[in-house]
Chains A and B, each alone.
Chain A
Amino acid sequence: MLRLSLRNLLVSKLRLFLTVAAVTVGVSFVSGTFVLSDTMAKAFDELYVGLTNGTDVVVKSQPAFEADITTNGGQVRPIDEAMVDQVRAVPGVALARGSVTGFALILDKEGRPIQPGGAPTFGASIGDARLSGDFVYRQGLEPTRSDQVAIDARTADQAGFVLGDRIDVVFQSGRQTFTLVGTIGFGETDSLLGATMAGFDLTTAQRLFDKVGLVDEIDVQAQRGVGAEELRDRIAATLPDGVEALTGDQVAADGSAAVRDAMGIFTQVLLVFAGISLLVGSFVIWNTFNVLVAQRRREVALMRAVGATRGQVLRGVLLEALLVGTFSGGLGLGLGVGLAAGIRSLLKLVGVEMPTTSPAVEPRTIVAALLVGVLVTMVAAIAPAWAATRVAPMEALRDAVPARYAAGWSRSVAGGVLLTAGSAGLVACIVVGDQRWWTVLSTLVTFAGLVVAGPTLARLTAAAADHGRRGGGWRMAARNVERSARRSAATALALTIGLTVVVAVAVSAASLRESVADAVSGGNRSDLILEPAGAGLGVSPAVADLLRDRDDVADVVELRETGARVNGHDSLVSAMNADGLGRVIDLGIEEGSLDTFGPGAVLVSTQRAEDLGVGVGDSVTVTFPETGSTTMRVAATFSRGALINASYVLALPDFAANVTSELDAAILVNSAPGVDPAQGKEDITAALADYPNVTVNSPDDITEKAQSSVNQLLGIVTALLLLAVVVAVLGIVNTLVLSVVERTRELGLLRAVGGTRRQVRTVVRRESVLMSLLGAVTGVALGTVSGVALSRALVDEGFTTVAVPTVTLAIYLLVAAAVGVLAAIGPARRASRVDVLRAIASE
């Protein structure tokens, strides 16, 4: 049986290739994701262990809670420098050294900020190299004077800095110039995950980061013979409340875990895309096996006639599926490792350098890849295999003409019911709004309806195209689609899945773009909005002070953000100046008033107030990671926080008292009366020459910026989804090739009675276009409705408006038709080259 299955597989290398490709894409996505995340996890572990190598104990403030590293940068309250001596006096301590970190943005030779996408730009005091084992000077030496700096080797390399160059750095407090005395590496890599780092001696760093007399943490090395845990306990006994001692290993593990958590979402998103590819792939496989069985009906019938049991036939087909699945799984695994390396290089290109390590292929990855490959293939092959067992031995004696799919009346009805229920559900979701899970469920039900009613839809499509000249191209193509309605439907549905998701994403993105524009035009009252350039961390508060001194500026309102807990719920908390708040932004106050807003008060979005069950005048508890809990009074509730992405707004002094970082996320500015907006923008831009990391934007600029970042995201997501569409196109090619092979005699006959090669190609091409259009129309329709419902469901996330990008959707339809034409090129050529004599030869 195995030999027969193997031989069957090798009969058509093209068919094998297409089937394997369909599974492999999905599997390589899955294994690539696993390998990438495992590799990165391993690399981070190694990196953190390397960095804390030599440090046995770390002393620092105890955070009130572990906030997400992305919302507060892991900052803890600085501690008194005097504690360093206190720790050094503990018996068993060999070395103890305080260190500080803070915001430091290096400028390149042209004065432009060096800001790798998304990665932090930070500065630090450079401690004792004995305390951080993998920290090495690639060139030069340690900075010891207040005008000296050492930077990471990667930044130096990219900006073309050499030792002795003058380097400008922007801090919270302003801009300063230093001399480059050293370049730093971290073990094998030249930067910390692409972050830029500027290192100073401790005193200088304390001054620059506004932490004079303070340190963020104390690194301790134990004397020989003293265990890290023992020393930790000894030190902890001497520490005041709110300060903790941790072992170096613990710190490394925590740090690595925090970064890995932040990257977890990335892994999940990739797995979702992998899932979509696999779903599309399974349709293609189902189809392939269906055709494979249909094609071999005579062979199966002959085997049955000579005594093969149904079980043997079933096992034979499933064995083929098993072989294909295992092979594809293995191939996908191999490609996945390559894919992971590819994504890494891609990340490196955009400036996120991953620490190097060998690719981590965990046993779980291997099992997952093979299991996914085999399961998807086997499940997809079960129905066709079952159909094979229904072949009567008598069929061996008849002429093999592909059976016409008989109309399943009950199937059409069931499909219709599902379709109606699903669409009704989606419409209900659109009307009601805010129904995430119902939206997803209704989409799935509608899709199930499409699957069940698929053959009926394919027949309807065929009927719609079945006109014009008798025997002319569209008619014959339509009849072929109709004859194998089930296969045509499955082929089209593979495309439907891909397009549904692509279109839903496109509609959501369009809605988000509109919502952003609305938020700016509806909620903004300021003339200018200052923001950090690129993916910068923030704007120095010195900028706000500079603006307040200007005559052409009336209102300056700073906006800061941090992760915190409100009544126990983790959330992003914003802070703004109370003075002028109502003049720069319309928060859409619903209850209460801005007049009572100030220190000790908080503004809460209507939705969150409802969730927490609080109203104006009630108290809420805000817990900051650095300092702990504070009780605040709700001054007002608001409905339009979309512009500043805020659910809670505090007064700035409260924020500053609880958060060390003084960076502004944005500064909202009103020009003085009589100042021309364009002129104002120009003047302020000129005045901020020392802060090249700040952009001065008009409200229109902000809309444009936000929209272009939505577009960028849309581009990335669409690119990932296109892989699924590519698989679907492979499916169309597959179906066409098989139906051409199946119809060799028909095609030969057509050629014999005077069909030109071109006419034969046309028939195949039109068949392809019909299937593509069926997939495209259903996909775009379902995607549009789901997208609208999804946008309505995400009203809380800032989707205040619903927009349907009709031009984009029309383009998708056209592209789908074009894809149909392209997919048909190979099969059509093959069809037109059918050998007439062989095709019509009597047996």
Chain B
Amino acid sequence: MTTPGLRQRSAHTDEEQGRVRAVAASARGACKVYGAGETAVAALDDVTLDLPAGRFTAIMGPSGSGKSTLMHCLAGLDTLTSGQVLIGGTDLASLSDKERTILRRDRLGFVFQAFNLLPTLTAEENITLPVDLAGHAPEHEWFGTVVDTLNLRDRLRHRPSELSGGQQQRVAVARALITRPDVVFADEPTGALDRKAGVELLRFLRSVVDDLGQTVVMVTHDPGAAAYADRVVFLVDGGIVEELTEPTRERVLEIMGRLGD
């Protein structure tokens, strides 16, 4: 599945920018506390985590483990109570709401579980939305590459209501990729899909990492989905308890079973 050419191209781009991007995003001592005083609940408790560039990382954990909160904080959708989130060297806490919005637009990509697309826009318009919001013209070649990788070429003129759930999620992935982001965050991207479409989407995400050299972080509770990642991080009660590289479904299940006790 690996296409060395594209990987090289990605590395080449990094060198041109004068820095080697070993880490796409990271959290340092990240704490998130909801409420105050006696009723305070720590959703994240001193989480430190590096997300290497060009890799596919899955974040797992039981309900209430803080995995969604971690992703929202990493993605600049939510703010930490203390600690740091760095996106390509930028400390999110130092940014204003507007600066964070623009960072999301230009350097991050999102795929949510459902309701990813604006119903009034066509697939193509949805894909180019972040570029359009920035007031730029989409890079024609990259747009073509993304569309072809996700096999959306003949769906571009359709509106979301005319697409299947799987197709809608692929459009969302394409939209997330259009700005060549530092990181693509996916929050249970297969949660609303049937098994076949889910597997198909995971393969596409895999090829996004392997063929396009992109960085993907996925929150999931499905061990099968996590098995597509290069690395799985397990969260319990707001803290990282395990890490697994080169995961298989069985090993993930085994750890989940252990953590569940």
Chains A and B form a bound pair? yes
- A: residues with CB less than 8 A from B are 399, 401, 404, 469-472, 475-476, 479-480, 482-483, 745-746, 749-757, 759, 836-837, 840, 842-843
Interface residue from B72, B101, B112, B161 paired with A754 (Cβ < 8 Å): B101
Q: Is the CB of B134 within 8 A of A754?
A: yes
Nearest to A462 among chain B residues (CB) is B120
With A404-B161, A755-B133 in contact, is A750–B118 under 8 Å at CB?
Answer: yes
Contacts of A479 in B (CB 8 A): 120-121
Q: Is the CB of B105 within 8 A of A836?
A: no
Whether, in the assembled complex, B211 has its beta carbon less than 8 Å from a beta carbon of chain A, the answer is no
Sort chain B's interface into a size bin: 35 or more
With A753-B129, A755-B101 in contact, is A476–B135 under 8 Å at CB?
Answer: no
Whether, in the assembled complex, B230 has its beta carbon less than 8 Å from a beta carbon of chain A, the answer is no
Whether, in the assembled complex, B149 has its beta carbon less than 8 Å from a beta carbon of chain A, the answer is no
Q: Is the CB of A476 within 8 A of B118?
A: yes
Q: Is the CB of B130 within 8 A of A754?
A: yes
Q: Is the CB of B134 within 8 A of A476?
A: no
Name the residue in A399, A483, A745, A754 with the highest tally of chain B Cβ atoms < 10 Å from its Cβ.
A754
Contacts across chains A and B counted by CB atoms under 8 Å = 90
Please, how many angstroms separate the alpha-carbon atoms of A729 and B86 in the complex? 47
Nearest to B106 among chain A residues (CB) is A754
B155 CB → nearest A CB, Å: 16
Nearest to B128 among chain A residues (CB) is A470
B87 CB → nearest A CB, Å: 13
Given A754-B130, A840-B112, 14 new contacts (CB under 8 A): A399-B114, A404-B161, A469-B132, A471-B129, A471-B133, A476-B118, A479-B120, A752-B112, A753-B130, A753-B175, A754-B106, A754-B133, A756-B133, A759-B133
Interface residues of B in 80-135 (CB under 8 A from A): 97-98, 101-102, 104-106, 110, 112-121, 124-125, 128-130, 132-135
Q: Is the CB of A471 within 8 A of B128?
A: yes
Contacts of B6 in A (CB 8 A): none
Please, how many angstroms separate the alpha-carbon atoms of A755 and B97 in the complex? 11
Q: Is the CB of A471 within 8 A of B120?
A: no
Interface residue from A745, A750, A754, A842 paired with B102 (Cβ < 8 Å): A754
Interface residues of B in 133-153 (CB under 8 A from A): 133-135
Contact digits for B172-211, partner A, Cβ 8 Å, 1 yes 0 no: 0001000000000001100110000000000000000000
Whether, in the assembled complex, B41 has its beta carbon less than 8 Å from a beta carbon of chain A, the answer is no
Please, how many angstroms separate the alpha-carbon atoms of A399 and B134 in the complex? 30
A64 CB → nearest B CB, Å: 74
Q: Is the CB of A751 within 8 A of B101?
A: yes
Nearest to B129 among chain A residues (CB) is A471
Whether, in the assembled complex, B77 has its beta carbon less than 8 Å from a beta carbon of chain A, the answer is yes
With A471-B133, A756-B101 in contact, is A483–B120 under 8 Å at CB?
Answer: yes
Whether, in the assembled complex, B78 has its beta carbon less than 8 Å from a beta carbon of chain A, the answer is yes
Please, how many angstroms separate the alpha-carbon atoms of A837 and B118 in the complex? 17
B109 CB → nearest A CB, Å: 8
Q: Is the CB of B175 within 8 A of A752?
A: no
A487 CB → nearest B CB, Å: 14
With A752-B104, A842-B114 in contact, is A757–B98 under 8 Å at CB?
Answer: yes
Please, how many angstroms separate the alpha-carbon atoms of A753 and B118 in the complex? 11
Q: Is the CB of A470 within 8 A of B125?
A: yes
| Ranked 6 nearest A-B pairs via Cβ | A754-B105, A479-B120, A471-B132, A842-B113, A471-B129, A470-B125
Q: Is the CB of B175 within 8 A of A476?
A: no
Q: Is the CB of B77 within 8 A of A836?
A: yes
Contacts of A471 in B (CB 8 A): 121, 125, 128-129, 132-133
Nearest to B159 among chain A residues (CB) is A404
B130 CB → nearest A CB, Å: 5
Interface residue from A753, A756, A840 paired with B98 (Cβ < 8 Å): A756
Nearest to A745 among chain B residues (CB) is B115
Contacts of A472 in B (CB 8 A): 132, 135
Please, how many angstroms separate the alpha-carbon atoms of A749 and B172 in the complex? 11
Please, how many angstroms separate the alpha-carbon atoms of A95 and B223 in the complex? 115
Nearest to B116 among chain A residues (CB) is A749
Q: Is the CB of A480 within 8 A of B104?
A: no
Interface residue from B72, B106, B113, B115 paired with A749 (Cβ < 8 Å): B115
What are 17 residue pairs bridging A and B, where the CB atoms are less than 8 Å apart in the complex? A399-B114, A404-B119, A479-B121, A749-B115, A749-B117, A749-B118, A751-B101, A752-B112, A753-B105, A754-B101, A754-B134, A755-B105, A755-B133, A756-B133, A757-B97, A837-B77, A842-B114
Name the residue in A469, A482, A753 with the highest tally of chain B Cβ atoms < 10 Å from its Cβ.
A753
Q: Is the CB of B135 within 8 A of A469?
A: yes
Nearest to A750 among chain B residues (CB) is B118
Contact digits for B158-175, partner A, Cβ 8 Å, 1 yes 0 no: 000100000000000001
Contacts of A840 in B (CB 8 A): 77, 112, 115
Contacts of B134 in A (CB 8 A): 754
B259 CB → nearest A CB, Å: 22
Please, how many angstroms separate the alpha-carbon atoms of A454 and B198 in the complex? 43
Q: Is the CB of A756 within 8 A of B102?
A: yes
A839 CB → nearest B CB, Å: 9
Please, how many angstroms separate the alpha-carbon atoms of A417 and B59 in the complex? 62
Please, how many angstroms separate the alpha-carbon atoms of A754 and B133 in the complex? 7
A459 CB → nearest B CB, Å: 13
Nearest to B108 among chain A residues (CB) is A754
Q: Is the CB of B72 within 8 A of A476?
A: no
Contact digits for B220-249, partner A, Cβ 8 Å, 1 yes 0 no: 000000000000000000000000000000
A554 CB → nearest B CB, Å: 77
Contacts of B192 in A (CB 8 A): 842
Nearest to A480 among chain B residues (CB) is B120
A479 CB → nearest B CB, Å: 3
B106 CB → nearest A CB, Å: 7
Q: Is the CB of A842 within 8 A of B98?
A: no
B148 CB → nearest A CB, Å: 20
Q: Is the CB of A746 within 8 A of B105?
A: no
Nearest to A483 among chain B residues (CB) is B120
Q: Is the CB of B101 within 8 A of A476?
A: no
Please, how many angstroms separate the alpha-carbon atoms of A754 and B101 in the complex? 5
Nearest to A481 among chain B residues (CB) is B120
With A470-B125, A471-B133, A479-B121 in contact, is A752–B191 under 8 Å at CB?
Answer: no
B152 CB → nearest A CB, Å: 16
Nearest to B119 among chain A residues (CB) is A401
Please, how many angstroms separate the alpha-carbon atoms of A757 and B96 in the complex? 12
Contacts of A401 in B (CB 8 A): 119, 161
Q: Is the CB of B119 within 8 A of A483?
A: yes
Please, how many angstroms separate the alpha-carbon atoms of A401 and B114 in the complex? 12
Q: Is the CB of B115 within 8 A of A837?
A: no
B26 CB → nearest A CB, Å: 21
Please, how many angstroms separate the alpha-carbon atoms of A471 and B124 in the complex? 10
Name the residue in A470, A479, A759 with the highest tally of chain B Cβ atoms < 10 Å from its Cβ.
A470
Please, how many angstroms separate the alpha-carbon atoms of A750 and B118 in the complex? 8
